[in-house]
Chains A and B, each alone.
Chain A
Amino acid sequence: SQQGEEDPQALSIQEGENATMNCSYKTSINNLQWYRQNSGRGLVHLILIRSNEREKHSGRLRVTLDTSKKSSSLLITASRAADTASYFCATDSYSGGSNYKLTFGKGTLLTVNP
């Protein structure tokens, strides 16, 4: 079953603009991660935020986490055509033996127009 829901389902912007995607989840978590998937390919890990963190930056990426609202947002600044992809949030919670199995949302399809 899907843990989270990304919002919006699809987002189309112009190159240079910022893109914001949101993720909501249902149960308590240890970590929340964002992954990118180019069409029909594997997933690439972008950034991880722990449950005791509120904000994290990595290059053009900024992630926030609000555990009281069970939500996260991913901001991509100064977007490029190469950022066109699907973006997924994934949560993990310990499941015996420190299994970090991931539960994904349905993703946001981002299109950056040149």
Chain B
Amino acid sequence: DTGVSQNPRHKITKRGQNVTFRCDPISEHNRLYWYRQTLGQGPEFLTYFQNEAQLEKSRLLSDRFSAERPKGSFSTLEIQRTEQGDSAMYLCASSNSGRPEQFFGPGTRLTVL
């Protein structure tokens, strides 16, 4: 059984650079979520896909953030022109239709210098 995977696990970048993260959900899950977690806080919702459709975005997701889920399988989260405030753990989760339990990946830790 393969769980949710995320790549890369760690990313260090300089301010102003673009970064892209990938999430591979559990294969039979049609829902995919992105969350952001900063030190000492719980995860905060960023965006949600059902199959390939992006159905909800948080106000936290500024214009510099974009997420895609082509073909309803893996998803990418891109941050353009990174800022130091973007430094955080980015978590991906997936779930089945009608099931509230979410299964999380290990996260991608982003450090913006």
Contact = CB atoms under 8 A, between A and B. Distances in A.
A48 B55 CA distance: 24
Nearest to B98: A98
B94 to A, nearest CB: 11
Interface of B: 4, 31, 33, 35, 40-45, 48, 50, 55-56, 89, 91, 93, 95, 97-107, 109
Contact of A106 (B41, B91, B101, B106): B41
A101 B48 contact: yes
A107 B42 contact: yes
B104 A100 contact: no
Contact of B42 (A48, A98, A105): A105
Interface residues of A, number: 29
B106 A33 contact: no
A106 B35 CA distance: 14
21 contacts: A31-B100, A40-B89, A41-B106, A42-B91, A43-B43, A43-B91, A44-B104, A45-B104, A96-B55, A97-B55, A99-B55, A99-B56, A100-B31, A102-B33, A102-B35, A102-B45, A102-B102, A105-B42, A106-B40, A106-B41, A107-B41
> 4 closest A-B pairs (Cβ-Cβ)?
A104-B42, A42-B104, A43-B104, A100-B100
